[in-house]
């Protein structure tokens, strides 16, 4: 019998869970994805400016740039999630439009509030004139606009995700907008000159990167733990640990021929019911030693003995991480297992 999770509907694009192994690097996946969209949004706005020569007032430049960035990055987050979850583009288009529109609208509102209301209340004399001078290149009078636009880019997707991860969305959005603004400012004044070309590119790139890093990362629920045989007998056989509905689950390994999840021969030093791998409702994995036979977990700079101790009321167990290896038996009679996290869609 071969275990597998059902295939998800194939409708996604671009972000591919198979290219995102379950390592610390997966936290960068959305950051890189959103950074690319941020950069593309900047290039799009600049191209629009340069090639189509818009006739609107210069006071709208900032509003249009940062609301476009805010909306595009929100779009990147939602579309990235849809792709990872294999949602159909058409089925999730309303989500994209809603999140993007919400972020764009809020970013525009925030820009207007900061430049036309807050700045006028906060500053006086020459500073007041500078604050409302839409032609002035400055971070001092625009920092709030960046922050509010970043916040808006977090709020759009947050509404779609029904408030899940609200702290990440709000604080990450805010931080990403501010990081983008700071990068824009620093690149503008690098050296002795003033160059908003590289600064604009940096704005889109950094805003998207920080947003993807902080707001919504690739969730663990897209992965499942698998137990895989490494020893010669039944090499590469594997079983998933997670239940289909995400509820707590436990899989058993042994040479008992009926009812166990993974059979390994007694000749390989495996007891009737040697170990089990459990997963709880928080997707934390644990290995339990159920046999008096030698059972050892090996990981980098660490060895854990899990042989059952008859004097203890409960079996020993240890947390399992992706890449851990489990040795069952010893000497000539030994089997080896591997615990690895793979995309749930993996068969």
Partner 1 sequence: MIRWLWVWLMIAGCAEGLTPIPNTTTRVGRPEVVDGTELELKIFTTLDECRARVQPDELELCMPYVDRANGEVRLGFQFRLDSDVFPLPLASEHIKIGHLGRELQGGGANTVSVVPHDPVRSPQLFILMIDGSSSMTKGGRMEKVRKALLMPEVVEAFFPDDVKTGVVVFQFTDRGPRPIGGRLRVFENPRDYRQVIRRELRVLSGYTHLYDAITYATGEFLARQDIQDLLTFHQMTPTVVALTDGFNNIRSDDTCGDNAGRLSTLLRHLEQVRAPESGIEPGRRPSVYTVGLGRPLRPAFELGREVSTSVRARDLCGGRKVGRQINGDLENRGIDNASLEWIARIGGGQSYVRQDYKGLGQAFKGAAAARYHWFEARYRVPPFYLRRSFRTTLRLISFATAEASVELFPSAWLDAPPGAKGDGGWTVQRPYRYILVLLMPAFGMLLLLSYLGAAAFHARRAMFMKVRQPRPPIRAGVPPANPPVDDPP
Q: What would the two tokens of residue 287 be?
A: 């290995």
Residues in 91-110 that interact with partner 1 by CB under 8 A: 101, 104
Least distance in Å: CB of 146 to partner 1?
11
Size of the site for partner 1 (CB under 8 A): 70
Of residues 11 and 44, the one with the C-beta less far from partner 1: 44
CA distance 113 to 115: 6
Q: Which residue in 6, 7, 10, 56 binds partner 1 (CB under 8 A)?
A: 56
Q: What would the two tokens of residue 14 be?
A: 């671009």
Helix, strand, or coil here: 340? strand
Distance set, CA 26 to CA 22, 30, 199, 219 (Å): 6, 8, 28, 9
Q: Which residue in 36, 243, 273, 316 binds partner 1 (CB under 8 A)?
A: 36
Of residues 138 and 247, the one with the C-beta less far from partner 1: 138
Q: Which residue in 89, 127, 137, 186 binds partner 1 (CB under 8 A)?
A: 137
H/E run at residue 277: strand 275-279
**Beta-strand relationship, 249-254 and 275-279:** antiparallel
Q: Binding to partner 1 by residue 126, rule CB under 8 A?
A: no
* Span from 54-62, 245-253, 284-292, 312-320 in contact with partner 1 (CB under 8 A): 54-62
Least distance in Å: CB of 308 to partner 1?
24
- Note the maximum CA span of the chain: 89
Q: Which residue in 9, 235, 305, 330 binds partner 1 (CB under 8 A)?
A: 235
Distance set, CA 29 to CA 19, 25, 41 (Å): 9, 7, 19
Least distance in Å: CB of 336 to partner 1?
8
CA distance 148 to 109: 9
CA distance 290 to 75: 49
Helix, strand, or coil here: 185? helix
Residues in 241-300 that interact with partner 1 by CB under 8 A: 257-258, 263, 265, 267
CA distance 328 to 233: 13
Q: Which residue in 10, 50, 259, 302 binds partner 1 (CB under 8 A)?
A: 50
Of residues 195 and 305, the one with the C-beta less far from partner 1: 195
CA terminus-to-terminus distance, the chain: 12
Q: Which residue in 6, 7, 57, 312 binds partner 1 (CB under 8 A)?
A: 57
Least distance in Å: CB of 120 to partner 1?
17
Long-range interactions of 91-94: CB distance < 8 A, separation 24+: 91/11
Q: Are 99 and 75 in contact (CB under 8 A)?
A: yes
Q: Which residue in 234, 299, 307, 321 binds partner 1 (CB under 8 A)?
A: 234
Q: Binding to partner 1 by residue 339, rule CB under 8 A?
A: no
Q: Which residue in 132, 196, 266, 316 binds partner 1 (CB under 8 A)?
A: 196
Beta-carbon-side half-sphere exposure of residue 205 (alpha carbons within 13 Å): 9
Q: Which residue in 61, 220, 250, 345 binds partner 1 (CB under 8 A)?
A: 61
Of residues 27 and 85, the one with the C-beta less far from partner 1: 27
The residues that bridge with 225 in the sheet, in sequence order, are: 341
User: Hunting for tokens 């990403």 — which residue is that?
Assistant: 176
Q: Binding to partner 1 by residue 178, rule CB under 8 A?
A: no
Residues of this chain that interact with partner 1 (CB under 8 A) are 1, 18-21, 23, 25-26, 28-29, 32-33, 35-36, 39, 43, 45-47, 49-51, 53-62, 64-65, 101, 104, 133-138, 192-201, 205, 230-236, 257-258, 263, 265, 267, 332-334, 336, 338
């Amino acid at each position: 019998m071969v275990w597998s999770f059902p295939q998800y509907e194939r409708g996604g694009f671009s972000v591919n869970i198979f290219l995102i192994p379950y390592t610390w690097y997966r936290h960068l996946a959305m950051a890189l994805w959103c950074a690319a969209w941020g950069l593309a949004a900047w290039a799009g706005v600049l191209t629009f400016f340069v090639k189509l020569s818009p006739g609107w007032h210069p006071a709208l430049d900032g509003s249009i740039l940062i609301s476009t960035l805010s909306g595009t990055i929100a779009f990147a987050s939602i579309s990235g999630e849809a792709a990872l979850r294999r949602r159909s583009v058409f089925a999730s288009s309303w989500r994209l439009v809603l999140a993007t529109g919400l972020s764009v609208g809020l970013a525009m509102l925030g820009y207007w509030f900061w430049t036309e209301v807050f700045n006028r209340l906060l500053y006086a004399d020459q500073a007041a004139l500078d604050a409302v001078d839409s032609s002035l290149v400055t971070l001092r009078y625009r920092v709030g606009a960046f922050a509010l636009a970043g916040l808006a880019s977090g709020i759009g997707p947050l509404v779609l995700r029904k408030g899940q991860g609200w702290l990440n969305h709000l604080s990450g959005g805010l931080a990403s907008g501010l990081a983008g603004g700071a990068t824009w400012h620093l690149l503008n004044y690098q050296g002795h000159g003033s160059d908003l070309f590289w600064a604009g590119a940096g704005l889109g790139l950094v805003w998207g990167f920080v947003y993807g890093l902080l707001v919504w990362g690739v969730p663990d629920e897209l992965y499942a733990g698998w137990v895989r045989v490494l020893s010669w007998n039944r090499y590469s056989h594997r079983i998933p640990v997670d239940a289909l509905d995400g509820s707590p689950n436990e899989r058993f390994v042994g040479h008992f021929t009926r009812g166990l999840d993974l059979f390994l021969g007694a000749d390989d030093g495996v007891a009737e019911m040697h170990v089990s791998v459990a997963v709880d409702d928080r997707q934390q994995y644990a290995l339990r030693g159920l046999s008096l036979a030698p059972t050892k977990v090996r990981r980098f700079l660490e060895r854990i003995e899990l042989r059952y101790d008859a004097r203890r009321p409960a079996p020993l167990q240890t947390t399992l991480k992706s890449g851990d290896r489990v040795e069952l038996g010893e000497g000539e009679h030994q089997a080896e297992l591997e615990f690895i996290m793979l995309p749930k869609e993996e068969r």
